[in-house]
Structure 1
């Protein structure tokens, strides 16, 4: 395809190779290098605006640029993933801490009422300890204890 002339046929994806003369009889490694660059450029979207010729070193530079961009992008994705995992871990720890603080507050609020109920009904001391452990377990399971019907 001569320069500045419109071809009679639209060659589509092959037009780029035809314009730079990659279909002529040239050294095979040069063709291979350009074809590898063309495939990498179309698959990766890094360096798609780099228009290269048949010159091998120019193609190697474009390949290096594209692969470097891809590696930097992968590095960025990895760092973002690590950051998100760290934030999730911090959030889970904070939720767990808040949950145990809520349990503590519930025990502090309900403790006197439970003690009063046990004193009113004459519950023995060894049984009081078991009842309090049972209530603590129920609170950890996030269930409210029924003060009127403990058994």
Structure 2
């Protein structure tokens, strides 16, 4: 299974691709790529959203994942920020849908629990565990890329749990 994780943001939208492979000792998580779509604060919202759509679509077509995993909307005290984030999420989901890919959504607590084992883990703990689980020498940069990888890992863990329950 190849999973494309997306961590939506209004300045950086992180992405990461993780694949599961079978080994003699069980399943292994393989890091394929990670990065971020950097958005200019100078550009107007429609241009920023078009950039997110264009870059994510190109990445999805290149990496050919089976599924896209994305973080669910969280509640924010700042309605304007939440709305802007929702627009980026919508564009990311549209890119996945137009590539014919299913989208799985996970709450922030679920993502942290799946990666660290504790739903209220600090960002640094998540980054450390992402590097550890993917056998990387250091956490991917920027932090949004590490978060996107965490979302992909979360989906893989959930998919494995569901498969085990079906047996």
Larger RCO, structure (CA 8 Å, separation 6 or more) = 2
Does TM, normalized by the shorter one, top 0.5?
A: no
TM-score (norm 1): 0.22
Rg larger for: 1
Q: Which has the higher helix share?
A: 1
TM-score (norm 2): 0.21
